[in-house]
Amino acid sequence: MHHPPALLRSLAEKVGTPYWLYDARVIRQRIADIQFLTNTDGVQARFAMKACPATKVLREMHAAGIWIDAVSGNEVLRALHAGHPGGHTPPVICLTADVFRDNALDVIREHGVLPNIGSPGQIADLVRAGYRGPISLRVNPGFGHGHVNSCDTGGPSSKHGIWHDDLLATKDAAARAGLAVTMLHAHIGSGPQFAELHENLTRLAADFVALLPHFPDLAAVSLGGGIPHNYKDHGAQVPMEPLHELFDTCHRRLCSAARRELRVEIEPGRYYVAPGCTLVTRVTDVKQTRTNEKGSGATFAMVDAGFVDLVRPAMYGSYHAIDIVGRDDEDPNMAREPIVIAGPLCESGDIFTRDDRELLAPRMLPRPVAGDLLTLRDAGAYGYAMSSNYNSIGRAPQLWLEEDGRVEMISRRETVEDLLKAETSQFL
């Protein structure tokens, strides 16, 4: 959504640029959408917190009765810090992983969260760690979709999950280890097309029905995440009523096939938060290259945000709407020209306007001038969460715009002291 230029300028004066601005109203509306989808008894939503693990966001989820899908030991600890309970009854926090690293096994054992394993060898890992509780198995069903091809979450090229032909052997290994399989999980990804999502979810539910006789301890089936967000068309609405019916139908079909009550789960990440955050940056200069034998010249608007802040365009050419603050982009008479938006990093790929082949894709924009603010919209999912300290740059502050207009800083700009505090001189 568009924020008033005066607000964005005022915040820039107070905290500098770049900064992240979350909109409480938008995030709560997205949470309400998911609550509608899962308002059937026996259907439960989780938040794939990797998309946006800020404590403020996690507390919003807790208040709304949304459970958590974590993917590391530290994500579990962050969810606990935000108020989500540990334990298996019910398993409010689930830890999904193909590899246990760092403190993951310790956290599972100490806090009793449900491990959702995606690799058969993890059964032996759990046994060695002394874990004897219930587990979930993540299946690679052999099909799926990613937001772009490099993000496929199901199929032969996906690293995620246990290949479907190996599932029963893994179940037998779990039984020999005394680990009860209480959930089956698959995630087919958030492709941009709703029809494909609907078809894949229907197919996935049918696959789970066929598996039910082999899993007598099963209490839940997770259909994963994958509710799409349209980055290019802000008017696009996901058809909520058909999705609600689909989850209701899947639940009834699975319970009927199992002849007992089962919980059906979904775990969106992107959908809750993508439109709820804007990255605000300042134009520092506008410069040009000229056409020569190597290619066409371009106009570069240099800004103070880079892929240390928002890496998605550099990583896989993802699209974010860009606005020059204070220019009416709805005005058909506004002159526009092709502009490349480039950041401050010592890296030629530090470009926000790229296509999925990683080529320059200039955006038709009013020509900015130095000092203008520029916004990158829909930055809430995998924005701050994937930011880094490359070039020794501190992460930008996160601000939260409450519905009554108050603005709260929920994380400050990092300093060099933050960057240096893990460095040590310790002989081993």
- At 382 the three-state DSSP class reads coil
Neighbouring residues of 346: CB distance < 8 A, sequence distance ≥ 6: 391
Tell me the C-alpha distance between 346 and 94, whole Å.
39
250 is catalytic: no
Query: Which parts of 184-332 fold into alpha helices (H)?
Result: 194-211, 240-258, 270-273, 312-316
Tell me the C-alpha distance between 100 and 103, whole Å.
8
Tell me the C-alpha distance between 226 and 165, whole Å.
23
Pairing state between β 19-23 and 277-288: antiparallel
- How do the residues of the chain divide into helix, strand and coil, expressed in percent and rounded to 5? 35, 20, 45
Tell me the C-alpha distance between 356 and 315, whole Å.
9
Pairing state between β 135-140 and 162-163: parallel
Q: Please name the helix (run of DSSP H) or strand (run of DSSP E) that holds residue 417, with its range, or none.
A: helix 416-420
- At 320 the three-state DSSP class reads coil
Tell me the C-alpha distance between 97 and 348, whole Å.
33
* Displacement of CA 28 from its chain's centroid (Å): 16
Peptide bond into 368 cis (omega under 30): no
As given in the structure block, the two tokens for residue 117 are: 């394993």
Tell me the C-alpha distance between 320 and 305, whole Å.
14
> 178 — phi, psi (to 5°)?
75, 25
Q: SS3 string of 42-83?
A: CEEEEEEHHHCCCHHHHHHHHHCCCEEEECCHHHHHHHHHCC
Tell me the C-alpha distance between 411 and 395, whole Å.
9
**CA proximity to 337, closest of 291, 378, 359, 369:** 369
Annotated active-site residue in 52, 250, 277, 346: 346
As given in the structure block, the two tokens for residue 323 are: 């606005």
Are 381 and 363 a contacting pair, CB within 8 Å? no
Radius of gyration for the chain, computed over Cα atoms and rounded to the nearest angstrom: 23
Q: Which residues are catalytic?
A: 346
